[in-house]
Amino acid sequence: MGSGMTNATPQASTLSGRLTALANPTRFLALADSLVPWLGGLALAVLAVGFYMAFAAPEDYQQGITVRIMYIHVPFAWLAMFCYSLMAISALGTLVWKHPLADVALKAAAPIGAAFTALALFTGSVWGKPMWGTWWVWDARLTSVFILLLMYLGIIALTRAMDDPGRSARAAAILTLVGFVNIPIIKFSVDWWNTLHQPASVFRLDGPTIHASLLWPLLICALGFTLLFVTLHLMAMRADIWRRRVVAMRRLSARAAERAAR
């Protein structure tokens, strides 16, 4: 198979054993094939329920109808950070355990994460125009999320710049880990710098400060988008493995043709 894709001996029961078993790309592809339709359907169903609830939820007494942007903006922003954390874990998988799937996971997650980050910034600025009166402010959280977008794009550029998949995976993994310092900065930026973006209202030690009628649609939308993200990620990983196989097969056939010509 393509470089980095080795066949592992199947081991049962333990978690690490299962992860090792997944290193076999054929087994992973089979799992992904069976999971993707279910996850995709579930994501669509949960999102449909979430959107219905979001439109049925009462309007905010100050913000009016613009509060509905929150139901997509907040999940996008969560996923932007979740995706980067996933990539950082994959980077550890690449560097520490040299797990071939971790390479693929990191590479496949970067464009999806960049898309979610861009969407979070876009929906935020659409909300900011009527509420703050401006499309963009150089607020701590906005700026740090913008840096996150730049880092996603940098990682994508780095993975595209190298031909050898193994080497590009290691380079991207190191860059991802170094860039991970930004994630806590984003999370706590609203607490450290007292600026325009509102502080956390859902994950707090003293419980959420947001009313239940708004909280439930938000959580369900977040769940739906997370499922959607997992589906997209699995599909992207599957496509990347297929791409590597095609490259490997082309190389084999070219070699065979060369041998036949000789």
Partner 1 sequence: MLALFRRELQIGVRTGNGALTGVLFFLAVVAVIPFGVGPDLNLLARIGPAILWIGALLAGLLGLERLFQADREDGSLDLMLLADSRHMRALTVFVKCCAHWTVNVLPLVVVTPLLGLFMNVEPAGILAATATLAVGTPAITFIGAVGAALAVALPRGGLLVSVLVLPLTIPVLIFGVAAARGAVADPDPFLPPFLILAALMLFFAVIGPLAASLALRWGGD
Options 18, 167, 250, 255; binder of partner 1; rule CB under 8 A: 167
DSSP string, 124-164: HHHHHHHHTSSS----HHHHHHHHHHHHHHHHHHHHHH-S-
What residues have CB less than 8 Å from 101, skipping those under 6 apart? 22, 23, 25, 28, 93, 237
Closer to partner 1 by Cβ: residue 21 or 156: 156
Amino acid identity, position 52: Y
Among the residue ranges 1-9, 14-22, 63-71, 151-159, the one whose residues contact partner 1 (CB under 8 A): 151-159
Closest distance of CB 89 from partner 1, Å: 17
Q: Are 221 and 202 within 8 A, CB to CB? A: no
CB atoms within 10 A of CB 194: 8
CA end-to-end distance (rounded Å), the chain = 25
Q: What share of the chain is helix, strand, coil (3-state, %, to 5)?
A: 75, 0, 20
As measured in angstroms, the least distance from the Cβ of 101 to partner 1 is 18
- Binding-site string for partner 1 from residue 86 to residue 105, where x marks contact by CB under 8 A and - marks none: ---------x----------
Residue 172: CB minimum distance to partner 1, A: 9
Binding mask 42-81 for partner 1 (x = CB under 8 A): ----------------------------------------
DSSP string, 25-55: HHHHHHHHHHHHHHHHHHHHHHHHHHHHHHH
Shortest reach from residue 100's CB to partner 1, in Å:
15
Query: Is residue 178 a contact point for partner 1 (CB under 8 A)?
Result: yes
Contact string (CB under 8 A) for partner 1, positions 105-144, x = contact: --------------------------------------x-
Q: Which of 14, 10, 3, 4 is nearest to 27 (CA)?
A: 10
Q: Which amino acid is at 117?
A: T
- Using CB under 8 A, pick the residue from 147, 183, 215, 235 that binds partner 1: 147
| Closer Cβ to partner 1, 72 or 106, answer by number | 106
Q: How far apart are CB 238 and partner 1 at their closest, in Å?
A: 26
Q: What is the CA radius of gyration of the chain?
A: 21
Closer of 67 and 101 to partner 1 (Cβ)? 101
Residues that bind partner 1 (CB under 8 A): 95, 143, 147, 150-151, 153-154, 157-158, 161-162, 167, 170-171, 174-175, 177-179, 181-182, 185
